[in-house]
Every structure is written in structure tokens, then in C-alpha cells.
């Protein structure tokens, strides 16, 4: 009898442990799910939430989840190539400048702090997002800037079609073309970088194996 009671006792303990564990899991909130699989990697719903909150901070609103996921897939492509090429992380000076630019985009420090609180991001999370955005934009700049060519006609056209109308809309006298040349040059270079990056990302995505699981994660 004693020999048979030990297995029975162990089975009872196992059953009780299993029941307690099941109850623990039932009461535990699932805080993360996979939003997409990209090749052998994953994008989590927490990544979506963080980007959404960052957009709320910067722009006052966030894109729909599907567009957020597309942005994260594009960021995965850029980051994967940048890391493969051992592209350096932004310096502390660049990060601090990025933080200053973000905060100066608000009318006041109070507005920045209020928007940050509404977004639910901590200072550390904001800094991490700034670092990530700098890393990606710096890589795209280094990859595509050398191939962007801007001629005098493009500068003159931008001055006539963009600078002058904007100044007039604000009731201001437009700056002289020469005074605005460097600004126009950089604006056109950035436009060229964005156009080339968009084409490259489209081609790169066509070669990737991507499974989007947003609908599954929402269940």
C-alpha cells in the first residue's frame, strides 16, 4: 500500500501544481504578441505601440497600425543593412542635438513635457527613439547623398514655386535667391535622398519573406 501511495501523492501534487499554474496564467495579461515575421526575425506589437506613442509625441497623432507596421518593416530593412555594413551609431553630440531639435520643435518646454506625458513615453524611451531614428536617417544619408545631383535650374524652380509662394502666404518679403540658395540646395538633396530610399525600400521589400500577423494578434 505504501509503495502505491507515493505515485498517487506525486500525481496529486502534479495536478494541484498544474491547476495553480493554469490559474496564474489565466489571471496574467498577455502584454506582447508578434505583429509580423520578417525573414527569421520578428516585429512585436510593443514595437508598434512605441512607434505610435513617438508619433503622438512628435506629430500629435499616430498612423493606423497597418501603416505603422509598414514603417517598422522599412526600418528593419535599413537597420539590417546598416548593421551588416557596421555603420556607426550616432555620437553623443549628435544624440544631444537630436534631442534639442525635438524639444525646440514645440512652442515651449511646457508643451513638450505635456505632450510627452500624454504619449506615455519616458525620457529614456524618447531618447532611445531619437537614437534609432538618427541611426536610420544617417545611414540613408550616407548611402544616397553622393548620388543626388542638383543643378541651378532645379534651385531656381524651387525658389519660384516654393520659397516665394510660402513667403507671400505669410505676408513676408521672400529672401533673395542667393540668400536662400544653401537652404534650397539642402531641401532638394533631402528630397532626392527620400526618393531614392523609397525606390530602394520598395525593391528590397519585394525580395523579403514577410508575414503580417496584426489580425491574429488582435484576437
d(CA 211, CA 214): 9
pLDDT tens per residue, range 39-90: 999 999 999 999 999 999 999 999 999 999 999 999 999 999 999 999 999 9
- pLDDT: is 132 or 32 the higher one? 132
* Helical pair 109-119 and 92-104, crossing angle rounded to 10 deg: 100
Give me the sign of the Cα torsion angle 215, 217, 218, 219: positive
d(CA 177, CA 164): 10
Sheet with 41-44, side-by-side order of all strands: 41-44, 34-38, 210-212
Share of the chain above pLDDT 70, in %: 84
The model scores a pTM over 0.85: no
Looking at the DSSP bridge assignments, the partners of residue 212 are 36
Answer yes or no: is pLDDT of 132 > 70.
yes
| In contact, 142 and 193? CB cutoff 8 Å | no
Answer yes or no: is pLDDT of 137 > 80.
yes
Answer yes or no: is pLDDT of 180 > 70.
yes
Amino acid at each position: 500500500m505504501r509503495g502505491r501511495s507515493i505515485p498517487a501523492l506525486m500525481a496529486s501534487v502534479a495536478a494541484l501544481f498544474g491547476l495553480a499554474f493554469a490559474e496564474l496564467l489565466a489571471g496574467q495579461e498577455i502584454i506582447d504578441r508578434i505583429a509580423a515575421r520578417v525573414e527569421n526575425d520578428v516585429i512585436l506589437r510593443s514595437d508598434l505601440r512605441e512607434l505610435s506613442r513617438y508619433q503622438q509625441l512628435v506629430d500629435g497623432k499616430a498612423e493606423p497600425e497597418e501603416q505603422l507596421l509598414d514603417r517598422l518593416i522599412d526600418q528593419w530593412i535599413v537597420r539590417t543593412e546598416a548593421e551588416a555594413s557596421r555603420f556607426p551609431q550616432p555620437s553623443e553630440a549628435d544624440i544631444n542635438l537630436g534631442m534639442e531639435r525635438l524639444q525646440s520643435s514645440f512652442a515651449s518646454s511646457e508643451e513638450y513635457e505635456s505632450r510627452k506625458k500624454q504619449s506615455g513615453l519616458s525620457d529614456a524611451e524618447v531618447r532611445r527613439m531619437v537614437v534609432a531614428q538618427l541611426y536610420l536617417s544617417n545611414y540613408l544619408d550616407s548611402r544616397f547623398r553622393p548620388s543626388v545631383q542638383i543643378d541651378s535650374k532645379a534651385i531656381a524652380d524651387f525658389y519660384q514655386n516654393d520659397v516665394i509662394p510660402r513667403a507671400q502666404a505669410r505676408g513676408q518679403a521672400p529672401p533673395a535667391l542667393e540668400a536662400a540658395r544653401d537652404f534650397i540646395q539642402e531641401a532638394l538633396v533631402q528630397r532626392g535622398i527620400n526618393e531614392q530610399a523609397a525606390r530602394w525600400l520598395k525593391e528590397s521589400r519585394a525580395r523579403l519573406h514577410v508575414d503580417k500577423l496584426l489580425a491574429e494578434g488582435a484576437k
